[in-house]
Amino acid sequence: MIAVLGEALVDLLPAERPGLWRARAGGSPANVALGLGRLGVPARFYGGLSRDGWGRWIRDRLRAAGVEAAGPFSEDPTPLARVEAGAAEEARYRFYLRGTAFEAAGWPQAGEGVRAVHAGSLAAALPPAADEVWGWLERLEGAFVSFDPNVRPGLTPAAFRGVFWERLDRFDLVKLSAADLDWLAAGEDRDAALARLRAAVPWVVLTLGAGGAVGFCGAHEVHVPPPRVRVVDTVGAGDAFTAGLLAWAEAAGVFGGAPLDRAGLTAALVFACRVAGLTLERVGADPPTRKELEARGGEVCGA
């Protein structure tokens, strides 16, 4: 079981005519949980969920993928994120979080069988959700911890830089984009910041957009180019990539202590890129199922 901690919300995407919007379920951690479930990996989502119509829609979508929604549940409305970029561009968002289920308190604790945890994004950066996330991780023992800062410039507070760097020893895997790393480095040379990250975290993956991804584990460094796809929408692609990484790690026994060699690192990145690639071909955060991936020649784990 992989526990995923963070926010669930509704993305409002531009429709065909000005002033019209398409609603899509989103929130980076919720997208990761959905991606894991569709790949056949047992997952449980922890984070504020509204009891309104959109909240029920999000829960039903997770449940259909085999993901348990643990809550907490709130009478406050579902948070929103309005996407403000063109379909083929890197998505930009305007968030509406205050007074919503994003601020729900009293997160449930880990249940039985949690072997790995994934956390990050806005819920790890903005109180009161951040207090819940970090308290949850502090009480956790013995599980593999994956983290994606998923920085939102203009919304992620500058103080989050210190939170991130001070807690590196808590993470087994950090996946982040080049833009995330530049923001977290705060003017420090990117290579120096990456070296600092690699020195503290066993497994680091840096996504490069159209440049693919590069992974680091011990002395191993592997670059994987992106798959050839017809890009329709970039929303949710990074989260699908994370779900692919974690699904591969689960199948390869990494959470149980299996070593990650160069071949395994390469296979993990290739698989994650395939998962993200199929998501790029769709509107909204809509990661592929295991069946869809296998139809395109992507096995979960070749180890």
Q: Collect the ranges in the chain with pLDDT lower than 70.
A: 85-91, 232-233, 235, 284, 297-303
pLDDT for residue 88: 45
Compute the distance between CA of residue 238 and CA of residue 13 in angstroms, rounded to an integer: 17
**Of 79, 9, 1, 73, which is closest to residue 239 (Cα–Cα)?**
9
The pLDDT of residue 203: 97
* pLDDT tens, position by position, 105-144: 999 988 778 999 999 999 999 999 999 999 999 988 889 9
Q: Domain with 218 in it: what CATH number?
A: 3.40.1190.20
The answer to whether residue 200 sits within a structural domain is: yes
Residue 302 lies inside a defined structural domain of this protein: no
User: Tell me, what's the pLDDT at 297?
Assistant: 67
In a domain, 95, yes or no: yes
- With a threshold of 0.85, does the pTM exceed it? yes
Q: Using the 8-state DSSP alphabet, how is residue 110 labeled?
A: P
Provide DSSP, 148-173.
E----TTTS-TTHHHHHHHTGGG-SE
- What is the domain count for the chain? 1
Please indicate, yes or no, if residue 303 is contained in any of the structural domains.
Answer: no
> What is the three-class DSSP state of 52?
coil
